[in-house]
Structure 1
């Protein structure tokens, strides 16, 4: 993980205007973030179980704007291969009073419209806590983020209808809830409900992003089926308050027009607040964030208006905490914004963070207006 942070800091110091280079750096960063925790998890084979999984998907695309209604009328299907480690130590249990898997998933999606939407090939890092585990029928929750390759994207001449995607290399985030049934100590059948989102995070326009729920059916095979012992619960101080801070950055694109060429600009920000524990792996939070979006300066110049590119927001959020992963969902009110350029009153932020040590966290977040993605950012933070 330290190697990933080094590349993150280097990427902020040595900036290239070449979009392809930017993609490669973000993909390298994501790969290192994936490899390090998995390598650390694999060190003690006797205290963990290895699982392999195969799943199928079938779903539909949400047409979140009127212009997408026609092209969204298709039904994606997919295949998924999983590799994961389930830590069985008391130390791992103590992090959330539960067992939790961490793993890698390769998922293929066919969007049911090969000429316009094509296919997606995804490599995803995920965490999956067990909500129950003592009976043959049990429940898990999974969240993850990864890189995706899209083989059909927007082209002004050859594919102008596909405003879902404009970058072959993009990002995927998802949530799922699984019902699992233990067939034998080695084999498990599962039924899953997924919510998937693919976007390039504002790196290139158009970038409406695709939201597509799917239902999955699959099998998991546990290579070394060690028993799941029930450890004593660690008391979590309900009402305990913890502070947090974040620095975040990303590159955004001002779209090319008939009069103007495409321009890429930095978005830089800072956020902070406090969260209060309400259960073993749930917390509520409130805070503020402040950022400068230089792509708004470009837009203001093009319209020949005088607007400040700074944004101040006040957030209320919920945290789902399992092990070293923290999945945070926030509703944020625009306290201050360039009104001529941003019409919305609220936006949402979805953050997946990994705790590096007692004080440091690193992660990625998605800013969205309802179902429309605005941008992804990389972030480094502290907890205290």
Structure 2
């Protein structure tokens, strides 16, 4: 008798928890989907010594799970409906002896740019970690100057066109620009840029109708900001690592709901270039900002005002930043500095806007 009463009590608690979970799920009104995509492309030989290694055509696939929450709080995060997800991908570089393959796991962000009853245009972006089964070794694999460590970073951006067959199924066409690099943590580090054309199939587990949320007016005010970065880099000809510090001061002004233009001053203090004191490299930059609510994906084109004689010969560099406004005026994120197609380093960033 006691056992029966205890079981009934446990059953009631389980039913209550199940009902609470289903109530939360129904109120969350999330869109959930699985995707399978096949991809095929080519490798960009961004320097002369890479041309012999860039004649193969990489191919691969990815599995993707994404969730889009339809409530106003999540919509406000980027002033748009957006998917957040996790993606598992595998790319074969069609050169097994030298380049091998890359298996990656990435976090993704995909805002919806436009849609109607059947068609949808979105922009998928992602950052992740790649495992490479072939990489540079002075004795066993000296030709592979794309990769120098088994663990590297993957970044990609991919415009997508989706066609919906029904509420449960759709197909999409994508064009992805992928970059794999160790962010300058080990040399040689040419990094690989490989565009891929993709065709995918999407299965929707939940697909409620998207509500209508009011958009805030476009601000015409200038927004000032300051951000600082930190990373380490190898000293030339040594395995020792020294800090690389960054500081930027700038401003931007919105020209559309998702786009802003601006400029500023970027300063790098690199202890890996000069052992005694940091090599100070000030630069002026112009910047484009893609603004999705609390997210800011910006691209800076910078002109060196001064740099050491034993440093890069290039007069310009780019800095790509992905920042998230975690607090009212404080942002956290990452940036990558590159000369053309060659990444120099990645750093962690903290910023403040005023």
> TM exceeds 0.5?
yes
Partners of 2:258 and 2:290 within 8 A in 1: yes
Partner SS state of residue 67, structure 2: strand
Does the 8 Å contact 2:271/2:278 carry over to 1? no
**Contact between 1:308 and 1:338, CA under 8 Å: does it hold in 2?**
no
Q: Which residue of 1 aligns with 2:260?
A: 283
**2:199 counterpart residue number:** 217
Contact 2:236 2:273 in 1 (8 A): no
**Residues 50 and 308 (structure 1 numbering): CA distance in 2 closer, same or farther, change over 3 Å?**
closer
What is the TM-score normalised by the length of structure 2? 0.89
Rounded to whole Å, the distance in 2 between the matches of 1:358 and 1:47 is 27
Q: Give the alignment partner of residue 152 of structure 2, picking from 151, 170, 175.
A: 170
- Normalized against structure 1, the TM-score is what? 0.82
Cross-structure match for 2:65: 83
- Residues 230 and 45 of structure 1: CA distance in aligned 2, closer, same or farther (over 3 Å): closer
Instruction: Look up the SS of the partner of 2:139 in the other structure.
Output: coil
Contact 1:138 1:181 in 2 (8 A): yes
Q: Deviations over 1:241-289 (max 9, x none)?
A: 2122211011111343xxxx43321101211211111111111121112
How many residue pairs get aligned? The number is: 331
Of 298, 302, 326, which residue of structure 2 is paired with 1:328? 298
Seen in structure 2, the aligned counterparts of structure 1 residues 345 and 45 have a Cα distance that, compared at 3 Å, is farther
5+ residue gaps, structure 1: 1-41, 302-306
Within 5 Å, give how 1:141-156 maps onto structure 2. 141-156=123-138
Change in CA separation of 1:240 and 1:188 when aligned onto 2, cut-off 3 Å:
farther
Name the structure 1 match of 2:322: 352
Whole-Å separation in 2 of the counterparts to 1:327 and 1:45: 31
| Equivalent residue number for residue 31 of structure 1 | none
Cα distance in 2 for residues equivalent to 1:210 and 1:267 = 23
How many angstroms does 1:240 deviate by?
2.1
Note if contact 1:206-1:255 (Cα within 8 Å) is conserved in structure 2. no
Task: Sort the Cα spacing of 1:323 and 1:308 in 2 relative to 1 into closer, same or farther, 3 A.
Answer: closer
Larger radius of gyration: 2
Instruction: Tell me, in whole angstroms, the C-alpha distance in 2 between the residues paired with 1:111 and 1:340.
Output: 35
- How far is the alpha carbon of 1:97 from its aligned partner? 4.0
Tell me if the contact between 1:252 and 1:266 (Cα under 8 Å) persists in the aligned partners: yes
* Aligned residue number for residue 13 of structure 2: none
Aligned counterpart in structure 2 of residue 253 of structure 1, from 227, 234, 246: 234
Query: Structure 1 residue 153: deviation in Å?
Result: 0.5
RMSD of equivalent CA atoms: 1.8
Question: Could you tell me how far 1:57 is from its partner in structure 2?
Answer: 1.0
Where does 1:354-373 land on structure 2 (aligned, <5 Å)? 354-373=324-343
Give the strand-richer structure, 1 or 2. 2
